[in-house]
A and B are shown apart, each in its own frame.
Chain A
Amino acid sequence: MRLLVLLAALVAAATCTETFFGHQVLRVVPQSDEELQKVQELQELEHLQLDFWLEPRKLGLPVDIRVPFRSLQAVKVHLEASGLSYSVMIEDVQALLNEEKAEMLRSSRHRSVDTATFNYEAYHTIDEIYNFMDMLVAENPNLVSKLEIGRSTENRPLYVLKFSTGGTNRPAVWIDTGIHSREWVTQASGVWFAKKIVEDHANNEGVASILETMDIFLEIVTNPDGFAYTHSTNRMWRKTRSKHAGAICVGVDPNRNWDAGFGDAGASSSSCSETYHGPYPNSEPEVKSIVDFVKSHGNIKAFVSIHSYSQLLLYPYGYTETPAADEQELHEVSAKAVAALSSLYGTKFTYGSIITTICKCGGSPKTPRSQNHPSHWPNIPWHSCTVEVRFYTL
Chain B
Amino acid sequence: MPGLRASPPALLLLLALALPRGSLAVQQLEPGSRSAAAAARVALQYRNFQAGSLGGLRALGQVRKATLKNIPESGHKYYLQFSTEDYRTGEDAGNCLATVLFPKKKSRPVVSIKCSHTKDQKEIQEEDNKFYQRIRHQSKPITASNIPDSYGNIEPALEPVWALAVAGSSSIMWEKSTETLGYFLAQVKSARQWMRKDDFIEFDYTVLLHEMPTQEIISCHMRLTWLPGQPLKVKHFCAPEGHGAEQGSGAESGSAAGPAAEKGASF
* A, B from the same assembly: yes
Q: Which residues of A are in contact with B by a Cβ distance under 8 Å?
A: 19, 21-22, 70, 92, 94-95, 98-99, 101-102, 105, 122-123, 184, 226, 230-239, 248-251, 253, 266, 270, 272-275, 348, 350, 357-364, 368, 370, 391-394
Interface residues of B in 134-173 (CB under 8 A from A): 146, 148, 150-156
Partner of A234, one of B59, B242, B246: B246
- Supply 8 further A-B pairs (C-beta < 8 A) apart from A102-B153, A275-B214: A231-B260, A234-B249, A235-B146, A236-B208, A253-B215, A358-B213, A368-B213, A392-B184
Closest A residue by C-beta to B118: A70
**Nearest 7 Cβ contacts at the A-B interface:** A274-B215, A360-B33, A95-B156, A239-B249, A238-B249, A249-B251, A350-B32
Q: A21-B88, A361-B35, A393-B186 are in contact. Are A370 and B213 (CB under 8 A)?
A: yes
Output the nearest chain A residue to B215 by Cβ-Cβ distance: A274
How distant is B235 from chain A, measured CB to nearest CB, in Å?
A: 24
Q: Report B-chain residues with C-beta under 8 Å of the C-beta of A275.
A: 214-215
How many cross-chain pairs have Cβ atoms below 8 Å apart between A and B?
123
Q: Are A272 and B150 in contact (CB under 8 A)?
A: no
Residue among A237, A239, A274 with max Cβ neighbours from chain B (10 Å): A274
Q: Which residues of B contact A123 (CB under 8 A)?
A: 150-152
Given A272-B242, A362-B29, A393-B148, A236 and B217 contact (CB-CB distance below 8 Å): yes
The residues of A that contact B151 with a CB separation of less than 8 Å are 105, 122-123
Question: With A98-B153, A233-B258, A234-B258 given, is the CB distance from A360 to B35 under 8 Å?
Answer: yes
Q: Which of A184, A272, A358 contacts B250 (CB 8 A)?
A: A272
A358 & B150 in contact (Cβ 8 Å cutoff): no
* Residue contact A273 to B214, C-beta cutoff 8 Å: yes
Q: Report, as a range, how many residues of chain B touch the other chain.
A: 35 or more
- Verify A394–B242 contact, CB threshold 8 A: no
Tell me, in angstroms, the Cα distance from A234 to B36 when the chains sit together.
32
Chain B residues positioned under 8 Å from A249 (CB to CB): 250-252
In the complex, how many angstroms separate the beta carbon of A248 from the nearest chain B beta carbon?
7
Tell me the nearest residue of chain A to B119, going by C-beta. Answer: A70
Contact with A along B48-81 (1 / 0, CB 8 A): 0000000000010010000010000000100000
Using Cβ atoms and an 8 Å threshold, which residues of chain B touch A358?
34, 213
Contact B214 A362 (CB under 8 A): no
Do the beta carbons of A92 and B217 come within 8 Å of each other? no
B207 to chain A, nearest CB (A): 12
A233 partner residues in chain B, CB cutoff 8 A: 257-260
> A residues within 8 A CB of B251?
248-250, 272
A235 contacts B187, CB within 8 Å?
A: yes
Known: A249-B250, A275-B215, A361-B180. Contact between A270 and B242, CB under 8 A? Answer: yes
Chain B nearest Cβ from A355, distance in angstroms: 11
Closest to B90 in A: A19
B216, CB-defined interface residue at 8 Å: yes
Residue of B nearest to A98 (CB): B156
In the complex formed, the residue of A with least CB distance to B212 is A310
Verify A236–B148 contact, CB threshold 8 A. no
A234, A236, A348: most-surrounded residue (chain B CB, <10 A): A236
Please, which residue of chain A has its CB at the minimum distance from the CB of B261?
A235
How near does chain B come to A97, taking the closest CB pair, in angstroms? 9
25 A-B pairs within 8 Å (CB atoms) are namely A19-B89, A21-B89, A70-B119, A99-B156, A122-B151, A226-B249, A231-B150, A236-B247, A238-B248, A238-B249, A250-B252, A253-B249, A272-B244, A273-B214, A274-B249, A348-B62, A350-B32, A357-B32, A359-B34, A360-B36, A361-B35, A363-B27, A368-B180, A393-B148, A393-B186
Structural contact, B242 and A273, CB atoms closer than 8 A: yes
Beta-carbon contacts under 8 Å, B214-267 to A: 214-217, 242, 244, 246-252, 257-261
